Amino acid sequence: MPSDPVSKLKGPQKVVLVTGPSGAGRSTAIHALEDLGFEAIDNLPLTLLPRLLSGPPLGRHLALGVDVRNRDFNAGSLIKVIDIISLETEFDGSLLFLECSTDVLARRYSETRRRHPLAPDETPLDGITRELALLGGLRERADILIDTSETTPHDLRAEIAKLFGSESDQGMAVSVQSFSYKRGLPHGLDMVLDCRFLRNPHWDKTLRALNGQDAQVGAYIKQDENFEPFFTRILDLVELLLPAYRTEGKSHFTLGLGCTGGQHRSVYVTECLANALAEKAWQVSIRHRELERRAGGAHLGQ
């Protein structure tokens, strides 16, 4: 885990307080910040925060998870703490609020069969209603507001990387994603490339049930005379752009590759491109949106 000295931080040391209703993705956001080099502490009592900040420098930016389970939680007190950090200390304090629609929160609790911390013996909706009332005022005070109603954990982590990734010294993160045009473009793409002109394995009955991660599918697509020139040119283009974006201070670059069903061609090209970039020492992550959907996907935690 990174441990850069405070003197090497870009600007003042940041203190990001992360809050929002249970089920909106707070834990995911905390873990994403930790991966970016932040010192992450979850559920720290507000009364202990002054002691933490007055102690020896931690050497990293600080991410603090705060929610209604804190025994001294109070929206007014949290706002006061943020104001004190920003106005009376040398820290750069900010509040990250993760919001989510009530029906989506209720659905997430229903699907995971978890009990709401504020309604262990009642319906999740009862707990959600109470929690939203307790959080009143924090949403309006938030420095950064992220709505996770239609967001996957992967999307939230990518958004956190875009917002805070420049504070890490890990270099620009690159995400390469496959998708189906039938379901529309994914959110947050910096560039989109269309693979629908390539030879389509869907029309081969022996390949239809497979996907672009299977060797047989890759061999079929590579037989298209357009594949090699297409791939060579997009790799050259991306290699040209990534250093330029990094120089401009961009911390995360997301490239989407689409085809009709998001199962064969876009998946294969995504795998090829991500592997080629990784071999050139870029920090690359892969996401196959439609394959995730078929696998059932994952839901945000707290």
- Give one DSSP letter per residue of 167-210, joined into a string: GSSS--EEEEEEEEGGG-PPTT-SEEEE-TTS--GGGSTTTTTS
Give how many domains the chain has, as a whole number. 2
**Host domain of residue 150:** 6-167
By the 8 A CB rule, do 252 and 161 touch?
yes
Q: Are residues 178 and 233 in the same domain?
A: yes
Question: What is the C-alpha to C-alpha distance for residues 14 and 270, in angstroms, rounded to an integer?
Answer: 35
Q: For residue 97, tell me if it sits in a domain.
A: yes
Which of 129, 146, 167 terminates a domain? The answer is 167
Q: Are residues 109 and 212 in the same domain?
A: no
Q: For residue 302, tell me if it sits in a domain.
A: no
What would the two tokens of residue 263 be? Answer: 């199962």
- The vertex-188 CA angle with 184 and 191, nearest 5°, equals 80
Q: Are residues 137 and 241 in the same domain?
A: no
pLDDT in tens, the chain (302 residues): 333 333 344 456 788 889 889 889 888 999 889 888 888 888 877 777 777 777 666 678 889 888 877 666 777 777 777 777 767 777 777 889 999 988 888 888 877 778 887 778 788 888 888 888 888 778 777 888 888 988 888 888 888 887 786 544 456 778 899 999 998 888 778 899 999 999 999 999 999 999 999 999 999 999 999 999 999 999 999 999 999 988 776 767 889 999 999 999 999 999 999 999 999 988 888 889 898 877 644 444 44
Q: Are residues 53 and 156 in the same domain?
A: yes
Q: For residue 255, tell me if it sits in a domain.
A: yes
Q: Are residues 97 and 191 in the same domain?
A: no
Q: For residue 300, tell me if it sits in a domain.
A: no
Which of 167, 186, 212 terminates a domain? The answer is 167
